[in-house]
Amino acid sequence: MTKSFSFGLLTASMLALSAGAAFADYELNILHINDFHSRIESINKFDSTCSAEEEGKKECFGGAARLKTVIDQRRQALSGKNVVLLNAGDNFQGSLFYTTYKGAAEAEFLNLMKFDAMTVGNHEFDDSEDGLATFLDKVQFPVVTANVKATAASKLGDRIKPSLVLDVAGQKIGIVGAVTNDTAELSSPGPNVTIADDVEAITAAVQDLKGQGVNKIIALTHVGYPRDLALIAKIPDVDVVVGGHSHSLLSNTDPKAEGPYPTMVDNPGGYKVPVVQAASYSKYLGDLVVNFDDSGVVKDAKGDPILIDSSFTPDPAVITRIAELAKPIEELRKKVIGSSESPIEGDRKVCRVKECSMGNLVADAMLDRTKNQGVTIAVQNGGGLRASIDGGEVTQGEVITVLPFQNTLATFETTGADVVKALENGVSQIEQGAGRFPQVAGLKFSFDQAKPVGSRVGDVQVKEGDSFTPIDPAKTYKVATNNFMRAGGDGYSIFKDGKNAYDYGPDLADVTAEYVAAHSPYKPYTDGRVTELAQAAPAPSASEPAPAAPATPAPSTEPSPAPAAPAPSTEPAPAPAAPAPAAPAPTAEPAPAASTPAATTPSTHVIAAGDTFWDLAVTFYGDGTMWRKLSDANGNPNPRHLTVGKEIEVPAK
């Protein structure tokens, strides 16, 4: 294994010293987070703010208070060893703490954790350079991003350096930062900030460090796991890559991980580079141990991210401070952001079976926010809409009640054929009132509920200019959805295979509120973009779940919508309900309705997040105890780990 060296000629004395002494290997412990996204408060299994009830049930993860506890504990456990704590960017955007404090709260809590270095993420520019400048005024740790180029007129000044050198137990550790090249498209850095090419910027900064005698160099990036693997880890003399941006969970134990932790990449210099990332939203702390030889070459690397669950006690001082900062947020919920000429229909009985005015509002808002990125289609799951809004004044709190899950916008590219497959999934469970029903913008389609699942959708047309044309199965379209669906939630597994996927970031509630404000007074409408061709017998789910219709902002209060709950990381969580009849009891209430249409039991079903054999048996047979019939017909898979997006057989009763 070789690395380039540029130290010049060694003096005779140095040669003599090196000949007479054998240098020991050097061990470095790297703790790291990425994509914190303002999760100041703890989160639940849906990645949204954890309720007091959920805290009491020990169902919460992360948050600033728990994160500080875990970091403190790891530092204590590693006392006397070489430790650095790194932050791979996107600390902004994702909760009302950011909306209220614009980065000041994030800076305060990150300072308490004592990071050694951070790179900026694209979301650090969401409020232009002004928001980032304020953050830089407050943080007490260095920020390094080699490809952020600020002019003399920028408020950033020279506070974002290309790199830095840390002295860790007498060894020089170089840190080089980078942010995604398309930050100007994804965010708002403004005219005084240019984003240069990441590879070129890192390469130049690394060589500068080499000239300073640094031979252990970490690339701290916010460019995404795929790019870290394909390009960053192959830059000459980069030794370790600590990444962010793609929210990638890397793990050696979690079957849903995108790759191993660390993922080892062959560098053209003849050595291997460990690449790591730790999911997002403060749910994990990355914990990597790297051993270098005396030439600075990585000999081995090992570790695994630490799941920050309820076994960690939140730091009490941080909890107290969070409570203080939360008080003004209640005022924000009361803020009037616009008005509506009439009620906006968001009732689950409507939005899960047909086009509804709330679905049109949210899908239109998604499309409007991303159209400058070339997005032409938007799809929102009806189950993600949790309430209606009355006519008259509209408050921020009302919008949050409709969209309480802190879902964020996500974009990707896919073919017309796959768009049609996604729509087929969306109308595949109308009979059960499933949350996957597609509310759309930029396209229109018809469906026939009387036809078999998988062949219900027809006449799909996309908007081009002011008119609609038939969708082209071979053409690539750019689509906006929410991050839950983009990750395959609600059976939209086809979205997971989309190209150039990116969880774009703005909270869906904020996007919708801004759209209402821009179009106030808003006029709710439906326009026939989703048309049912044949009126089948009344769907039992359209009336039976009525007791659950009064939606609340807390997903934990409504067990039945769990499959539609918006968080990629939620998929394994609901599964433990399968062995115990007590757990699925709330969703079993519609059993009388489910038992009547036994003759129309579908022959297949696509697994959605939260599905269990017990619940499916209640749905298809009206009897949860028949879950073994489903299990036996499908090879007896692990009932706690049903594969989301997989099609299973549903034998006749």
- For 359-368, the pLDDT digits (tens) are 999 999 999 9
**Strand ranges across the sheet with 443-447:** 467-470, 457-464, 443-447, 530-532
Q: Amino acid identity, residue 81?
A: K
Whether the predicted pLDDT of 56 surpasses 50: yes
pLDDT on residue 603: 73
Among 3-12, 385-394, 563-572, which is the least confidently predicted range? 563-572
Q: Which amino acid is residue 493, in one-letter code?
A: S
Report d(CA 208, CA 317) in Å as an integer: 42
Give Cα 643 distance to the centre of its chain: 19
Give the position of tokens 């209060």.
557
- The contacts found for 17-21 with CB under 8 angstroms, 24 or more apart, are none
CA–CA dist 356, 580 (Å, integer) = 36
pLDDT digits (tens, 9 = 90+) for 57-72: 999 999 999 999 999 9
Rounded CA separation 284/277 (Å) = 10
**Reduced to 3 DSSP states, what percent helix, strand and coil does the chain have, rounded to the nearest 5?**
35, 25, 45
pLDDT band for 638, please (50, 70, 90 cuts): low
Q: What is the pLDDT of residue 506?
A: 86
Q: Which amino acid appears at position 634 of this protein?
A: N
3-state secondary structure of 367: helix
So what's the pLDDT on residue 583? 33
CATH 3.90.780.10 for domain 338-552: yes
Identify the DSSP state of 283: S
CATH class label, 29-326: alpha beta
Nearest alpha carbon to residue 556 among 580, 575, 574:
574
pLDDT band, residue 14 (cuts 50/70/90): very low
Say whether pLDDT at 639 is over 60: no
Dihedral angle computed from the Cα positions of residues 88, 90, 96 and 101, in that order, rounded to the nearest 10 degrees? 90
| pLDDT of 484 over the 50 cut | yes
Q: 149 with 90: CB under 8 angstroms?
A: no
**What is the chain's Cα-based Rg?**
26
Smallest CA-to-CA distance from 236 within 209, 262, 254 is with 209
Q: Across residues 221-244, what is the average pLDDT?
A: 97
Confidence of residue 643 (pLDDT cuts 50, 70, 90): low
Q: Is 173 helix (H, G, I), strand (E, B) or coil?
A: strand
Structure tokens at 148: 């952020």
Q: Are 91 and 121 in contact (CB under 8 A)?
A: yes
Domain ranges of the chain: 29-326, 338-552, 571-653
Question: At 20, is the secondary structure helix, strand, or coil?
Answer: helix
Token code pair at residue 72 = 């403190």
Q: What is the mean pLDDT of the chain?
A: 85
| Region at 101 (left for phi over 0; alpha for psi -120 to 50; beta for the rest) | alpha
Answer CATH for 571-653 from 3.40.50.11600, 3.10.350.10, 3.40.50.300, 3.90.1150.10: 3.10.350.10
Instruction: Provide the pairing of β-strand 217-222 with 443-447.
Output: unpaired
Check pLDDT > 80 for residue 613.
no
